[in-house]
Chains A and B, each alone.
Chain A
Amino acid sequence: MMSSAFDAVIPMLCVTLAGLVVLLAEAFMRKDEKMPIAPLGLIGLAGAAVASVLLWDRNTESFGVVSGDNFGLFVNLVLVAVGALTIIFSTQTVERDGLPAGEYYAMVLFAIVGMMLMGQATDLLVIFLALETMSIAVYILTGIRRDMQQSTEAAFKYFLLGAFASSFFLYGIAFLYGTTGTTNIDEMSTRIAAQSMSGNPMILLGIGLLIVGFAFKIAAVPFHMWSPDAYEGAPAVITGFMSTGVKAAAIAAFVRVFLKGLDPMIADWAPILWWIAALTMIVGTVVGVAQTSLKRMLAYSSIAHGGYLLAGLVAGNEVGKAAILFYLAAYALTNLGAFGVIALIGNRERANDDLRDYAGLYHTHPALAALMAFFLLSLGGFPPTAGFIAKWYIFSAAIGSGYYGLAIIGVLSSVVSVFFYLRIVVMMYMTDRDARPVPAPISSLAMGGLVVAMLGVLYLGVLPTRLIEFAQQSISTIF
């Protein structure tokens, strides 16, 4: 393969191109013509996946601000999986809910472009750019059901708070630039180390503001207020997309900025993140217990999972960095699977996301119930699922750095979370009332997507070696 300045951005180019084609395809389509748009997006994602695999181990760089290192490529592959599953589940819901297909898929793809850029960017300004690209697309997707008041409200809330957080983030960049004179992450690291800026109030302020921005995006406590509302209002597939894709991208950038650029300051920011991680795990699980809407419940659950990811970041060791990557992959498959089931059970008028809607699901849809139970057990961290290995990996990192307290909070909060995951299982399996009938038969494509996610979760739970190896390779080149 020829090497050029564009190498590192090829995966993003593939997805951007697909997004543009999707938009055009709909624009040129006749009114009554039915054309499958979703496959176009899948092709673009496949291209991105192939490009990421080909770029593996080559450490390319584009324009000095986008890096094609293994870390970013690993995140790319996770995002491709997230995008592909999202599109597959959407094929059923877009038609069912009468959503504008062209805009919908294009926004999903553009959001993925932003996410990929977040994982690959090595400059704070580019990260900000990526953050905005991703966020704007996701704001639109949240409110894409314009016929539903709840959806519009959620989007507006998300947009207002998100814009606020973005400005915090930008402000943080400004402070860091002011003290270090650079926005490049590598350069920043060397300058901070050389001048021993620990304790400098300006840089601390900058770090604090960056933490606010990132914490908002991954919905970490106390910056999580938007997420239950946004998650509940958005269509279920998009909720799954937000809770995995946005989180993966934000965490990837978080790791890169903090463990690379601000690593010399770790003694200053680790205690702050320790508290955020602990609070996130506790609040996410404890408040999750009180929810009766499945979407809200899983919203709090994904807040808690953000806390586990932060625990890996606080640990900050080699194990932690790889563990975060592994966790992202495991969590993406599991959570998307769970939201996929929720999406398939809803209908146009009603999202069917109340706990009671799941009563006796096992009798009407044994396969869906079994898949849901499996995903929930993985979220709860039971062996032999990916969720168990991921949790073990993260807590192993925390303990390796001596953070026993964080690990203990983590494992105990995961027991609390098991309580509400099992409430859903109880509803599906142990109550006898029949579930509300699902109007549309579930397409074999969507079902196939669920089964693939399930097999992936099982594979990572039983034979995690390969992915652990990739995760370790991913961090070896940059950190």
Chain B
Amino acid sequence: MIGLLTLAIVTPIIGSLLLLLIPNRDGSKDGLIRTLAFAVSMIAFAVTLVLWASFDASASAPAFQFVERSSWIPQFGIEYYLGIDGLSLMLLVLTGFLTPIALLSSWHSVDKKIKEFSIFMLLLEASMIGVFCALDIFLFYVFWDFVLIPMYFLIGIWGYDQRIYAAIKFILYTMAGSVLMLVAIIGLSWLHQSATGEYSFDLLKLYELTIPQGTQYWFFLAFTLAFIIKVPLFPFHTWLPDAHVQAPTPGSVILAGVMLKMGGYGLIRFAFPLFPEAALYFAPLLATLSVIAIVYGALVAMVQPDMKKLVAYSSVSHMGFVILGIAASNMQGIQGASYQMLAHGVSTGALFCIVGMLSDRRHTRLISEFGGLKTHMPRLTAVMLIITLSSIGLPGMNGFIGEFLIMLGAFKWDPRFVVVAALGVILSAVYMLWMFQRVFYGKVTNSHNKGLPDLSFREWAIVGPLAAAAIAMGVAPNVFLKPMEPAVQRIVDRVQSRQPLETAEAVIPYSARPKPKEPDRKPQAPSPKPRPASIEVAQ
């Protein structure tokens, strides 16, 4: 008997092993491999949909559902421990939804080593699903770190000219952040050991830990650094334009669509609830950085001559909203942040797909090379318009709900941030519409653009669902918000029940081993008092 979550993780892995067995030195089996990889990713998507259908979204339901746990490294209390709440659920569905689309988008743009490409894509999917449903923090880190490997190869082998530089920058940058988180994770397990006598990496047990203030300060920083590099938040965003621009289209789709969300998810799931006092203490700093990111990303996007780079910087701006919502850490803020992550996944995924289609046709992504495409590709133009509007955050589209909720939440917390963030909303209209206008409207100025084919059937299959999702999420946001509500409520309660750190002393709970053979560490005072928002688990 394996659970649904394990099934979701294992399906792509089995798929990639199957692909490994198909001999394809001469490329004769490319079609078969593409179809098989697509089929496997559709099965995984189906599994995530089943999860959604059978998820109990009522407030009385247990916090984490579909729980699976078995011992992995018992000596250190490490478990294979999976479970999802509404937040993870929606991100799982997003992952399941975007992977087949990314694979479809590769059918034209990726033309060498199809087998290896498909294997890496499926491994990537498996590890991303793992990230979103791991409740053991060690297991989480394993998935988190593993994600880098397939993405590194995807950028490095199938990317554009500067791919090697981009791939190495991507992996080193994100790894440098994550390893410090590893140190903090280990520190947490020791803290648990000294408090209770046994090691644990169980997230829910670690939630119950009373963490001294100085420790919270440093551990929060370590966790948050890992997550905001991934998001990425200004000033840690410099890897992103390189990685996005150099990655092949499917790589960009997954990178922007899902991987950036791992950062936001990490903040909501780990950094804020584990270290609430430190989180409240640092929230203004995060919010400040986020509004800088919003405005800076938008301004830089505006002047990009390259469409892909423009979309990449727009991600910096949009993900800035996510951080702002999280920093507000109230109901609207975090719900908005979660929603914005989903919305951004859909619309930016779609933008990268469309840019990919244009670059497949013309082998350039420079805005100045295009113009007047509407004459020859009315359908693609229509779809692009929908996506552009959704990315801007037009009411009735998916982008609006998230940004609106975030600004609502942030306004309740500190209106000053909203004043600046609202600038970003205006600027996003400027750079997106300006690009749209230059590329699609006007006269055809470049003769190469004459007679470009409109959307093919396969391309419809890519952008159709994305556009539909963008509209559906704007019209019926409650379908997506409802399952996340109890999860967000619990996290907000947890964080808001605390006071921010008063003084941030740089104290680490136990100092260097002074004398041998004497367990000199002071046991942490156990905290029997029940938390207002203690989280119980469905077994």
Contacts and interface: CB of A to CB of B under 8 A. Distances in A.
Interface of A: 263-264, 266-267, 270, 315-317, 377, 382-384, 388, 392, 395-396, 399-404, 407-408, 411-412, 414-415, 418-419, 422, 425-426, 429-430, 464-465, 468-469, 472
A267 B75 contact: no
Contact of B512 (A263, A392, A403, A469): A403
A142 B153 CA distance: 37
A388 B163 contact: no
Contacts of B75: 465, 468-469, 472
Interface of B: 72-76, 138, 141-143, 145-146, 148-149, 152-153, 156-157, 163-164, 167-168, 171-172, 175-176, 179-180, 182-183, 186-187, 189-190, 193, 508, 510-517, 521
A371 to B, nearest CB: 14
A388 B512 CA distance: 25
A418 B171 contact: yes
A426 B168 contact: yes
A173 to B, nearest CB: 22
A33 B409 CA distance: 85
Contacts of B76: 396, 468
18 contacts: A267-B514, A267-B515, A382-B145, A382-B148, A383-B142, A383-B145, A383-B146, A392-B186, A399-B186, A403-B513, A404-B187, A407-B186, A411-B180, A418-B171, A419-B172, A426-B167, A430-B167, A465-B74
A115 B163 CA distance: 45
A403 B186 CA distance: 12
A264 B175 CA distance: 39
Given A383-B145, A402-B512, A422-B168, A395 B183 contact: yes
Contact of A399 (B73, B190, B511, B515): B190
Q: Which 6 A-B pairs have the closest CB atoms?
A: A411-B179, A383-B142, A401-B513, A266-B516, A430-B156, A402-B512
Contacts of B171: 418, 422
B197 to A, nearest CB: 14
A264 B515 CA distance: 9
A266 B512 CA distance: 12
A415 B164 contact: no
B153 A414 contact: no
A83 to B, nearest CB: 28
Contacts of A407: 183, 186
Contacts of B189: 396
A263 B516 contact: yes
Nearest to B199: A396
Nearest to B508: A404
A388 B168 contact: no
B211 to A, nearest CB: 15
Contacts of A267: 514-516
B73 to A, nearest CB: 5
Given A384-B142, A411-B179, A469-B75, A395 B186 contact: yes
Contacts of B187: 399, 404
Contact of A392 (B182, B510, B521): B182
Given A402-B510, A402-B512, A418 B157 contact: no
Contacts of B510: 402
Interface majority SS on B: helix, strand, loop or mixed?
Answer: helix
B351 to A, nearest CB: 27
B158 to A, nearest CB: 10
Contact of A395 (B72, B149, B175, B182): B182
B182 A411 contact: yes
B453 to A, nearest CB: 30
A143 to B, nearest CB: 37
B183 A263 contact: no
Contacts of B180: 408, 411-412
Given A422-B168, A472-B75, A430 B149 contact: no
B516 A316 contact: yes
B516 to A, nearest CB: 4
Contacts of B153: 429
Given A317-B513, A422-B171, A399 B149 contact: no
A422 B183 contact: no
Residue of A266, A388, A396, A468 with most chain B CB atoms under a 10 A cut-off: A396
A129 B164 CA distance: 50
Contacts of A404: 183, 187, 508
Nearest to A377: B149
Contacts of A408: 180, 183
B511 A402 contact: yes
Nearest to A463: B72
Contacts of A415: 172, 175-176, 179
Contacts of B512: 401-403
A269 to B, nearest CB: 11
Given A267-B514, A402-B511, A402-B513, 7 more contacts: A266-B513, A316-B516, A317-B513, A382-B145, A395-B183, A400-B193, A418-B171
A311 B352 CA distance: 46
Nearest to A391: B182
B124 to A, nearest CB: 14
Nearest to B142: A383
A472 B74 CA distance: 12
Contacts of A429: 153, 156-157
B243 to A, nearest CB: 14
Contacts of A425: 156
A419 B168 contact: yes
Contacts of A395: 182-183, 186
Contacts of B141: 383
A322 B458 CA distance: 56
A108 B512 CA distance: 41
A469 B76 CA distance: 11
Nearest to A366: B25
Contacts of A377: 149
B518 to A, nearest CB: 11
Given A412-B179, A415-B176, A464-B73, A430 B514 contact: no
Nearest to B141: A383
B164 A430 contact: yes
Contacts of B168: 419, 422, 426
Contacts of A402: 508, 510-513, 521
A395 B517 CA distance: 20
Nearest to B139: A383
Nearest to A431: B164
A418 B73 contact: no
Given A396-B76, A465-B74, A469-B75, A411 B149 contact: no
Contacts of A317: 513
Nearest to B179: A411
Nearest to A265: B516
A414 B511 contact: no
Nearest to A479: B517
Nearest to B521: A402
A426 B171 CA distance: 12
A469 B73 CA distance: 10
Contacts of B182: 392, 395, 411
A402 B183 CA distance: 11
Contacts of A316: 513, 516
Contacts of A266: 513, 515-516
Contacts of B186: 392, 395-396, 399, 407
Contacts of A399: 183, 186-187, 190
Nearest to B73: A465
B410 to A, nearest CB: 34
Contacts of A464: 73
